[in-house]
Amino acid sequence: MVVSSAALAVALTACSGSGSTSGGGGRGGSDSTGESAAAEDESSTSAGVISLTAARGVLLHYAKVNNEANAVPDPKKIAQVEGGALLQQSQATFTQFSAWSEKEQNSYKVPFYYPVEGAHFYIPRKGAQSVFWVDTRVTGKNIGKDRRRLIAFKRDKSGQGAAWKAVAVGELGKKTPEIQRDGDGFASVLGASDRVGNTELDDLRGLSQDFYLTGGKKAGSRFTDTSAVKDWKRDYAKRADFPDGCVNGTYNPGRTAAETVYGLRTTDGGAVALYDFGVDYVNWAKTDGLQCEAVMRIDNMPAVTDIYLDGRTTSTRLTRSDSLMAMAVVPPSGKRVRVTGYSFQLINAKG
């Protein structure tokens, strides 16, 4: 007999985060009227890395092209407006699209919008890292009334597609601290090597990965036990938990297309961060039981079998690579980091 492996189809459970940011006026940008001339004039000595008017245009263009790409779907078109791990996730979704049900495909093609009305733009001064952020509503059919996202846009100098591309996205709720602005209204962006208290922002990636690799032996004391962290711990605990006892499993370090983190300084001296990390979920058949065979049945995973394994429905060893994008609030001390949410995407499978 072959091993029944229905549980193999459940690798990671996507989770959306909670939190909110408040945006004010000033040259750094909100959608309110009365912005100073400096916010609109990139040649000004107090200008930002992008003008507020241009940033609004970037947001609207991103939603427009994103919808066009989703409708086909078109991996080349989405590459015009996305980069890094976010692009990798979107293109993997398009690769797997044909394995979805008709209902899922139709739902995915429904347009969504990022209105500039009520959006808050966090723009750093010219000379800082060429990244700006937007806290925006998400509207459209079957989308919750108060749903908001935090999006990081990075300048792209490749000459391929838009000059500014979305590189990270997180869901917003009600508990994200206020973003810091200077006297002219500009935000302070942070990079991977910047520290908040005793935590270097790039450490967030490896520490989050640790929950999958060890259950949090290194990271447990550094993070608050939010629902996202509980999900990660549960995935680790159930990595080899299969009803028939004939399948084993483990998580190994994986990689994303970007391996980076983007941060915004908050008024309390802490930070809000968007970052990505990868894990490889490996399963193999046990042969030490009287009723166990040397193959696993994987025909209940069409995205894996149809797309990546050329229709094969059994395997002796299966590796699924996942890209995760998380949002976290880092206190000024760098301790008790709060992961407010995450999403994941299967990006490859081998068997």
Let me know if residue 349 belongs to a domain.
Answer: no
Please indicate, yes or no, if residue 92 is contained in any of the structural domains. Answer: yes
DSSP for residue 72 = T
The parent domain of residue 192 ranges over: 3-8+15-342
| pLDDT higher than threshold 60 for residue 173 | yes
Residue 26 has pLDDT above 70, yes or no: no
DSSP lists the bridge partners of residue 105 as: none
Q: Are 207 and 217 in contact (CB under 8 A)?
A: no
DSSP-assigned letter for residue 97:
G
- Proportion of the chain above pLDDT 90, given as a percent: 77
pLDDT digits (tens, 9 = 90+) for 108-144: 999 999 999 999 999 999 999 999 999 999 999 989 8
Task: State if pTM tops 0.85.
Answer: yes
**Beta pairing class for 271-285 and 317-330:** antiparallel
Residue 56 lies in a domain: yes
Q: Give the whole-angstrom CA distance, residue 129 versus residue 154.
A: 9
What number is the average pLDDT over the span 276-288? 93
Check whether 293 has a pLDDT greater than 90: no
- Give the pLDDT band (50/70/90) at residue 29: low
Residue 348 lies in a domain: no
How many distinct structural domains can be found in the chain? Answer: 1
Distances (CA, A) of 20 to 151, 262, 341: 13, 17, 12
Residue 216 lies in a domain: yes
- Quick check: helix, strand or coil at residue 104? helix
350 occurs within a structural domain = no
Tallying the residues shown for the chain, one arrives at: 351
Smallest CA-to-CA distance from 322 within 73, 76, 85, 78 is with 85
Is position 284 within any domain?
yes
